[in-house]
Structure 1
Amino acid sequence: MPAPDRAAEARALVVGAVAIPSRSGEEAEVAAYLTNWMAGRGFEAHVDEAGNAVGERGQGPLTVLLLGHIDTVPGDIPVRVEGDVLHGRGSVDAKGSFCAFVAAVAALPEEALAGARFVCVGATEEEAPSSRGARHVVRLYRPDLVLIGEPSGWAGLTLGYKGRLVARVRVHKDNFHTAGEGTSAADDLASGWFRVREWAAGEGGEGVFDAVQATIQDLWSRTDGLAQVAEGTFGLRLPPRVSPEAAEEAVRGALSSLPGPAGVEVTFTGHERAVRHPRDNALTRALRVAIRARGGTPVFKVKTGTSDMNVVAEAWPVPTVAYGPGDSALDHTPHEHLDLREYDRTVSVLTQALTRLSATDPARS
């Protein structure tokens, strides 16, 4: 039989995955597709209790865990391939990365499989506050090295992500005539927002990664003629030196000085700590060598968003890098698309890097 065209198979894999809609909480069909693909190419594959697509190859003493996510944000983008460009929701964020993981592990030589165990996990609900898939697997594995599937560009290595806190604020008070003295519930909510933003501005650092970023995610108000209610959601992106707990205390303090008599309720979600991993270890060295072998110049990055790296960092204190094809500026946009030539290079880099890592001593990784 002729040898399989691995590059064509790898492209078909990602096109097929992107063609299957999989908003957060609706990943079952794409998980089945991915596990069937892996099972047909030498993986021990299954869908786990969290709905993750899981595939394992290799029996060596080193465990490399490749954690991507297979859910997407809402937004229907017609799936099509135009030349070497794949258009579709999830092509960049982040089915492209996970499919590159799977394709690379499928292409590994037997000697690599004798030296390491490679676990590919296509996680569910990364785009939701639950991070269900990552929170499930973090209890099941103790890897020596971790790759997170997120777009970095084929020559980029992402070492860290900012933390996050989301505050939902509700102000309610008796209705009054707007010609009279006083402030509305919306006035008070706006005042609270300005105080939160003032605190954030005072927590500046050197560059955006070291600063607190504050944005309004939604804002509305209403009255029934007797009472007024205003609600807003404030999103905070946090640098490593500001914990979610410290940010929560600061937000409560800012809101505590709102004018009365008003009732203020605040709830917090998305408590994610910032994380930043070292630049030099067995994992980054293997990837840098492989990138240079393809003619690229490795570039280290940190990101202002969050990823499953934030979820697993504390439980897995091992060398970790986020890596994958695509331009992260296209995440969540109506223009999301993936250059399949870059995807090909990413698969090649990963195959070489993982082969090199299979000879690594776990005790020295």
Structure 2
Amino acid sequence: MTEKELYPQALQLLQELISIPSFSREEDKTADTIYTFLEQHGVKAERQGNNVWARNQHFKPELPTILLNSHHDTVKPNAGYTIDPFTPSIKDSKLYGLGSNDAGGCLVSLIATFLYFYPQQNLKYNFILAATAEEEISGTNGLESILPQLGEIDFAIVGEPTQMHLAVAEKGLLVLDCVAHGKAGHAAREEGVNAIYEALFDIEWFRNYKFEKVSETLGPIKMSVTVLQAGSQHNVVPDTCKFTVDVRVTDAYSLEEVLDTVKQHVKATVTSRSVRLQPSGIPLTHPIVQAGIKLGRNTYGSPTTSDQALLRVPSVKLGPGDSARSHTADEYIELQELEEGIPLYIQMLEKVVL
């Protein structure tokens, strides 16, 4: 397909995807649509669960490989919608509909980019396209589940709405369940050890502690106590106090390093829900970043988490649309963003693969 043919094809596919409900874990119909679209364009696609992927026509195992990834699941529409979220409608040069901005525009633009490079020979890199599920819930049956089948990846572009600027680093997520221990007693007498008071020392530490290393792109690590539960009745000194801590980890530390530091400083029992969502990023000297800079794109560090957190290779978050519109009522993407995003993807990649 030529560059001029790509935009209307991508727009049509995006409108079709918007019309199909695809909440996380319920993406089977959009997976069908993406699979069929690729097959209709002569691409041999593969599928596992609700994940669809494909390799370029002249894939050579000896070459390094670029992963083009975005997701086709959506959150559920919120109560503020004034339009049907599943009816794609164009008004004032904007395409409205659930998932149009996050991340349908990115997904169809990456699919169009993949189709552009698909038949080309003598490329310096292979391409793998992966349209994946469960991104919105950080589920285990999405990108993570098919990584073994994709093989070795040299670097990745993760399609999320960034206004086609380059998010060269992304914070990881560590959720900690903490339990402060005391001793039960009657509140009217000097009995027991109040677990709430015990927890206060640790909560104050989470509030004030500053990690020594600060990321150049993401700044300091941020720790927030977000949930607290203790006590059963007014006259009993509680023997346990449970609280949850949301930790946004930068590329200056691994999740394991942060967890070790926490355990060294607090008295509470600390359990990590997961160390899957690691901080991620790509060096500013990487060819794809330099290609973007030469095309006038900015670089920045992203505080939000995406499927980038599941990758253990250099990766950049990049796509048409605006992150500020994600999960908002009457979601939309501007047609110009879509039309400009595809050639920008292509131009950046051509500086690397040709």
Q: TM-score, normalised by structure 2?
A: 0.81
Aligned residue number for residue 308 of structure 2: 309
Q: 2:287 aligns with which of 264, 282, 290?
A: 282
Question: Structure 1 CA distance, aligned partners of 2:75 and 2:243?
Answer: 21
Comparing 166-175 with 300-309, greater Cα deviation is found at 166-175
Q: 1:270 aligns with which of 247, 269, 274?
A: 274
Instruction: Give a deviation string over 1:60-119, Cα, whole Å, max 9, x none.
Output: 444322121223344445424333223444333323212210022224484x35535422
Comparing 221-230 with 335-344, greater Cα deviation is found at 221-230
Identity of matched residues, % = 23
Comparing 208-217 with 125-134, greater Cα deviation is found at 125-134
Question: Is the Cα–Cα contact under 8 Å of residues 168 and 281 in structure 2 kept in the other structure?
Answer: yes
Q: Secondary structure at the match of 2:148?
A: coil
Letter aligned with residue 43 of structure 2: F
Question: Is the Cα–Cα contact under 8 Å of residues 202 and 266 in structure 2 kept in the other structure?
Answer: yes
Please show how residues 319-338 of structure 1 align to structure 2 within 5 Å: 320-334=315-329, 336-338=331-333
Distance apart, 1:323 and its partner CA = 1.1
Question: Is the Cα–Cα contact under 8 Å of residues 213 and 252 in structure 2 kept in the other structure?
Answer: no
Cα gap change, 1:240 to 1:206, in 2 (>3 Å): closer
Q: 1:231 aligns with which of 242, 250, 259?
A: 242
Question: Is the Cα–Cα contact under 8 Å of residues 35 and 55 in structure 1 kept in the other structure?
Answer: no
Cα gap change, 1:216 to 1:334, in 2 (>3 Å): farther
Please show how residues 181-330 of structure 1 align to structure 2 within 5 Å: 184-199=194-209, 201=210, 203=212, 205=214, 209-223=218-232, 228=238, 230-256=241-267, 264-271=268-275, 272-288=277-293, 292=295, 297-313=296-312, 316=313, 320-330=315-325
Question: Structure 2 CA distance, aligned partners of 1:143 and 1:198?
Answer: 39
Aligned residue number for residue 135 of structure 2: 126
Please show how residues 1-365 of structure 1 align to structure 2 within 5 Å: 5-48=5-48, 50-61=49-60, 62=63, 63-76=65-78, 78-79=84-85, 80-81=88-89, 82-108=91-117, 110=119, 112=120, 115=123, 117-140=126-149, 141-154=151-164, 156-171=165-180, 176=185, 178=187, 184-199=194-209, 201=210, 203=212, 205=214, 209-223=218-232, 228=238, 230-256=241-267, 264-271=268-275, 272-288=277-293, 292=295, 297-313=296-312, 316=313, 320-334=315-329, 336-359=331-354
Distance apart, 1:170 and its partner CA = 3.5
Q: In the comparison of the two structures, how many residue pairs are matched?
A: 336
Q: Secondary structure at the match of 2:142?
A: helix
Distance apart, 1:121 and its partner CA = 0.5
Instruction: Give a deviation string over 1:321-364, Cα, whole Å, max 9, x none.
Output: 221112223334446432221121111212334445442xxxxx
Cα gap change, 1:345 to 1:27, in 2 (>3 Å): same
Distance apart, 1:268 and its partner CA = 0.4
Q: TM-score, normalised by structure 1?
A: 0.78
Query: What RMSD, in angstroms, separates the aligned Cα atoms of the two structures?
Result: 3.2
Question: Is the Cα–Cα contact under 8 Å of residues 88 and 337 in structure 1 kept in the other structure?
Answer: yes
Letter aligned with residue 99 of structure 2: G
Question: Is the Cα–Cα contact under 8 Å of residues 214 and 252 in structure 2 kept in the other structure?
Answer: no
Question: Structure 1 CA distance, aligned partners of 2:28 and 2:319?
Answer: 23
Comparing 302-311 with 178-187, greater Cα deviation is found at 178-187
Question: Structure 1 CA distance, aligned partners of 2:200 and 2:332?
Answer: 37
User: Where does structure 2 lack aligned partners over 5 or more consecutive residues?
Assistant: none
Question: Structure 2 CA distance, aligned partners of 1:75 and 1:232?
Answer: 30
Cα gap change, 1:180 to 1:226, in 2 (>3 Å): closer
Cα gap change, 1:193 to 1:350, in 2 (>3 Å): same
